[in-house]
Amino acid sequence: MEPNGAEGDAAHLASVALAEAPARRFSGIRWRSKLESVVIPLGVIIVSMILFGIFVAWQGAEPLAVFASIKKGAFGSWFSFQNTLVRAAPLMLCALCTAIPLRLGLVVIGNEGALVIGGLCATAAGLQCQDASASTVHIVMAATGMFAGGLWIMIVGALKQYRGVNETISSLLLNYVAIAVLNQAVNSWMKDPDSLNKPSSFPIPDEKMFQPFGDTQIHWGLVFGIIYCLCAWFLIQKTTFGFQIRTVGANVRAARLAGLAVGPLTLLTCFIAGAAPGLAGMVEVAAVQGRANESLNAWYGYSGILVAFLARQNALACIFMSVLLGGLLASGGILQRAHHLPDATIVVFQGIVFLTILYSESLYGRFKFFQEARE
Amino acid sequence: MSGGALWSVALAVFAGAIRGGTPFLFVSAGECLTEKSGKINLGLEGVLLMGAMSGYAISYKTGSPWVGLLAAGGAGLVLGFIHAWLAQQPKVNDIAAGIAMIIFGSGLAFFLGKPFIQPLAPQLPGWEFGAWSSNPAARSALRICPLFFVGVFVVFAMNWFFNATRWGLFVRAVGDKPDAARAMGISVWGVRTLSIMAGSCLAGVGGAYLSLFYPGSWTERVSGGQGMIAVALVIFGHWNPVQCLWASLLFGGAQALGPALQSVGVSSYYYLFNASPYILTLLVMIVTCSTRKQLAGQPGALGTGQ
């Protein structure tokens, strides 16, 4: 350590900067750290597959056969891959709800609630204007869903910013509140009297629903998901606004000293994050369910949290991780049928992957091999 | 609302405070111990479910609910160890580790508990304090599980432990200033691991109460987020175990309000009343939290990653 703190640090920083500058200029691609960010996630997948294999073997199933079934159920045929993609769409949107605020340093897990509220409000709006043309209905529904989901997560940001309420806990509680609001709505003021077994809202007319593309099952949801992820990536990585977000996330005091309006920035970021699962809820109604009911609460939100952490908060990586996890979700049925494993098997697998990925965070920078050589 | 209806709602809320408050009591006491050592365990929701499942399953297999209770505590210890180990790795956020533990614990509980949804397991006994009354509602309200008294004892014992024992001082020191504690020669890793495991064991027992006494069956919805509410209860109770007891009773009562109102015919807004514990938690946190000052009793290292 240098004897005099501040000056020593400054000198050290300067020397590091000097040492790094030529390395950047001459050695071209800094492949070692790039390789690290590929090898460690791959290792995570392998280790968690081994752990999961041990688990299913303990439960009396053949691990290799189970993995073969998962692969078959997820990517085995064009039909099953379509199923995977259909499930990946809401996952992408839900993942953004966690991934974007993580850049601010906030762990928001209100994805499920924002999805439910978005779907409910989109249904209400769609029913109000159901006589208009299909595209008008879609636009009104999408706008309402996004707005409702955005406001829902904005509450979380505002509570954090102005009252110091822990955002993880408040967003989690809001999930339960959202589900209660949904149940209340479909059991009273929005209730379709014909829906006896499963209380639901009145249905959106069939011709006003999203139609699948061609003879596939894929619908607009996937397009929305990919576009939202691309936009979020561009916003965070390539714009001034995104730079502000990352600055706040790196050091909120430094951001304040630099004159950034941390409060409004937090609220706006949370709104953008919440609008994504809100849109997912609208898509679930407009493309899958056709009405608002309990089925909206299908754990996409909780899986989205996992996707956000798997993707290490990178919106582009969210697309690929969603497809992987969507495949895993799609293979739940085949595990039940072919191996007599309960549907919770997939949840166990998700838990193992999640634990392993968190452990892997502590491995970055621990291996000498992945350090860039300092010239 | 007539006088009789009001009386029956009040009775139901009182019963709920004790019956429904007991799991809150165990989980919040466990969370309090965990957080005093400077780490958050959001994964107690998963522990609660695992405790409920393993308690029920072992009680069914062995015929003794007390063995089930032990198994639930053991399941808590194991999950607590995983969390303690993971949350103390460098660069690992303890809140994220908790979310992972929720998914892992609940997945494991649903997976292993699938065969036990149907059969009936022997239940924990209740002490009849209402034998003098002829009113069946009062009798059932005064049927109290011995675990409730165990929980009350644990809470006061924990308060004494924090304030009057050497080990309690270690836990508080590790939670407030880990570096200073380390300089004193205390093993931060050891103290935190033991605190998290003990807290998780308490949560496991709370889970067994859910499946073995009230509501007294194993389903996948048996916990309904109580493990996460407990984290908020600890904040509400200012990290003081005795105040966690009062908070637990309050929340147990709030939980009983919706069904109680429905039973006397007030059924509009039934679903919203069911969400009242969550809404109450949120309101309590909005009122008690502050951006400017640290709350009284809050461990210094909490949420700082130290």
Q: How confident is the model at residue B287 (pLDDT cuts 50, 70, 90)?
A: confident
Indicate left, alpha or beta for B229 from its phi (over 0: left) and psi (-120 to 50: alpha): alpha
Q: How confident is the model at residue A373 (pLDDT cuts 50, 70, 90)?
A: low
Instruction: Decide which of A102 and B143 is more confident.
Output: A102
What's residue A167's pLDDT? 92
Contact (Cβ atoms closer than 8 angstroms) between residue B198 and residue B30? yes
Contacts of B161 (CB under 8 A, 6+ apart): B167, B168
Instruction: Decide which of A119 and A38 is more confident.
Output: A119
Question: Which residue type does A277 have?
Answer: P
Does the pLDDT of residue A6 top 70, yes or no? Answer: no
Return d(Cα A253, Cα A72) in angstroms, integer.
50
Q: How far is A190 from chain B (nearest CA, A)?
A: 13
Global pTM? 0.89
Instruction: Decide which of B209 and B9 is more confident.
Output: B209
Residues in chain B closer than 8 A to A168 (CB atoms): 42, 95, 99
Nearest to A107 among B89, B95, B224 (CB): B95
Nearest to B96 among A59, A174, A358 (CB): A358
What's residue A287's pLDDT? 92
Residues in chain B closer than 8 A to A177 (CB atoms): 275, 278-279, 282
Q: What is the mean pLDDT of chain A?
A: 88
What's residue B11's pLDDT? 87
Residue in A closest to B102 by C-alpha? A351
Question: What percent of chain A has a predicted confidence (pLDDT) above 90?
Answer: 66
Residue of A55, A183, A184 to mutate for B, most B C-beta atoms under 10 A: A184
What's residue A71's pLDDT? 92
Domain ranges of chain A: 82-302
What's residue A4's pLDDT? 44
Q: What is the mean pLDDT of chain B?
A: 90
Average pLDDT over residues A248-257: 92
Q: How far is B134 from chain A (nearest CA, A)?
A: 37
Nearest to B275 among A176, A188, A345 (CB): A176
What's residue A324's pLDDT? 92
Instruction: Decide which of A336 and B201 is more confident.
Output: B201
What's residue A1's pLDDT? 36
Please check whether the domain covering B3-288 is classified as CATH 1.10.3470: yes
Q: Is A31 on the interface with B (CB under 8 A)?
A: no
Residues B33-81: tens digit of each pLDDT:
999 999 999 999 999 999 999 999 999 999 999 999 999 999 999 999 9
Q: How far is A164 from chain B (nearest CA, A)?
A: 4
Indicate left, alpha or beta for A153 from its phi (over 0: left) and psi (-120 to 50: alpha): alpha
Q: How far is A132 from chain B (nearest CA, A)?
A: 32
Helix H, strand E, coil C: the string for chain B is CCHHHHHHHHHHHHHHHHHCHHHHHHHHHHHHHHHHCCCCCCCHHHHHHHHHHHHHHHHHHHCCHHHHHHHHHHHHHHHHHHHHHHHCCCCCCHHHHHHHHHHHHHHHHHHHHHHHCCCCCCCCCCEECCCCCCCHHHHHHCEECHHHHHHHHHHHHHHHHHHHCHHHHHHHHHHHCHHHHHHCCCCHHHHHHHHHHHHHHHHHHHHHHHHHCCCCCCCCCCCCCHHHHHHHHHHHCCCCHHHHHHHHHHHHHHHHHHHHHHHCCCCCCHHHHHCHHHHHHHHHHHHHCCCCCCCCCCCCCCCCCC
Residue with tokens 């109000």: A128
Does the pLDDT of residue A5 top 60, yes or no? Answer: no
Q: How confident is the model at residue B302 (pLDDT cuts 50, 70, 90)?
A: confident
Question: What percent of chain B has a predicted confidence (pLDDT) above 70?
Answer: 99
Does the pLDDT of residue A93 top 70, yes or no? Answer: yes
Domain ranges of chain B: 3-288
Q: Which helix (H) or strand (E) holds A20?
A: helix A5-26
Q: How far is B176 from chain A (nearest CA, A)?
A: 19
What's residue A214's pLDDT? 86
Q: How confident is the model at residue A29 (pLDDT cuts 50, 70, 90)?
A: low
Interchain CB distance below 8 Å, B279 and A177: yes
Nearest to B111 among A170, A342, A358 (CB): A342
Lowest mean pLDDT among A41-45, B106-110, B137-141, B190-194: B137-141
Task: Residue B144: name the closest of B302, B14, B27 by CA.
Answer: B14
Reported ipTM: the value is 0.92
Does the pLDDT of residue A245 top 90, yes or no? Answer: yes
Interchain CB distance below 8 Å, A358 and B274: no
Return d(Cα A167, Cα A189) in angstroms, integer.
31
Nearest to A107 among B96, B231, B278 (CB): B96
What's residue B33's pLDDT? 96
Residues A172-224: tens digit of each pLDDT:
899 999 999 999 999 888 888 888 788 899 999 988 899 888 888 899 999 99
What's residue B231's pLDDT? 87
From residue B74, how far is each of B81, B101, B128, B198, B201 by CA, in Å? 11, 16, 29, 10, 7
- φ, ψ dihedrals at B181, nearest 5°: -60, -40
Residues A254-285: tens digit of each pLDDT:
999 999 999 999 999 999 999 999 999 999 99
Residues B217-256: tens digit of each pLDDT:
998 888 888 888 888 889 888 899 999 999 999 989 988 8
What's residue B8's pLDDT? 83
Interchain CB distance below 8 Å, B107 and A350: yes
Does the pLDDT of residue A363 top 70, yes or no? Answer: yes
Residues B165-185: tens digit of each pLDDT:
999 999 999 999 999 999 999
